[in-house]
Structure 1
C-alpha cells in the first residue's frame, strides 16, 4: 500500500512539474510577444501608394467615384459631414423629401451625437432633397403576354 502511494505521489509530482514548465514557457512567450509585436506582424516591404486629391475626387458619369454621390452643388459638404460617421451608401440608398432629410438630421443630432451643422444644414438638406428625393412611381406596366395557359 505504501509503495503504491509513493508511486502516485511521484507521478503527481512529475505531472505538476511538467505543468509548471509549460506555464513558465507560456509566460515567457507572452512577455516576448508583448515586447516584440513585430514578431506577429512582420513589417511590409511594400511602399505605400499615396492617393492624390485628384484621384480621390474623380467624377465619372456625374457620380463621385469614391463615394457614389451625385455630383452637384454642395456635394463636398455632404461628404465632409455625412461620411465622417457612416458610409456614403447609407445616404445614397435613402430617398426622402426635404422634411424627411431635416427630420433625419434632427434625429441624428438628438440620438447619435451629430454636431450642429449651422448654416451648412440648409445646403446639405438642399443637396439631399434634390438628388435623393422620393421617386414618383405609378402603377406598374401591364403584362404583355402573348398566350395565357391554365395551371393544372
Structure 2
C-alpha cells in the first residue's frame, strides 16, 4: 500500500512543475511583449511603414498657443497671470490637478503653503499673488450645484 505522505509529495511535485511551466510561459510572453513595445518595427506584426504614426514636436509658435480662450498645452483659461501659473504649477504636476479643483483665494493660498511645507515647493515671492489672483478668478468655487428644476414643460402621452 502506498504511503499517503509520498502521494502528497508526488502531487506537490507535479503542481510545482506545472507552476514552473506557467511561470516560464508568462516570462516568455511578457518578454516578447516588452520587445514589441521597445521597437514595434522589429516585429513581424508591425504595421506597414506608411501606417506608422510619426510624432513631431510642436513648433515653437504652437507651444503656448491659445485658441478660443484656452491655453492648448495645459487647458488653462486665458487670463492675466496665465503664463506665471503655467511656469510655476506645471513644473511639478499636471494642469489637470489644478483645473479639477475649485477654491477661493484663501483656499489656493493654503494649498500653496501646504505644498511649500510638505512637497518642497519653492518660495514663489511676488508670483504668489499673481498665481492666487489667477486661480481665484478662473478656478473659484462654482455657484451652480445641481441643475435647475425644469419648468414650463409641455408633456405628451407616449403611444403604445
Question: Which of residues 72, 75, 79 is equivalent to 1:72?
Answer: 79
Per the alignment, do residues 48 and 121 of structure 1 end up closer, same or farther by CA in structure 2, a change over 3 Å counting? same
Query: In terms of Rg, which structure is larger?
Result: 1
Structure 2 partner of 1:117: 124
CA deviation after TM superposition for structure 1 residue 80, in Å:
0.8
CA deviation after TM superposition for structure 1 residue 56, in Å:
1.0
Q: Which runs of 5+ in 1 are unaligned?
A: 1-39, 148-152
CA distance in 2: counterparts of 1:86 and 1:117, whole angstroms: 16
CA deviation after TM superposition for structure 1 residue 73, in Å:
1.2
TM-score, scaled relative to structure 1 = 0.62
CA distance in 2: counterparts of 1:141 and 1:51, whole angstroms: 42
TM-score, scaled relative to structure 2 = 0.59
CA RMSD across the alignment: 3.1
Count of aligned pairs between the two proteins: 111
Q: Which runs of 5+ in 2 are unaligned?
A: 1-36, 42-51, 156-160
CA distance in 2: counterparts of 1:138 and 1:72, whole angstroms: 25
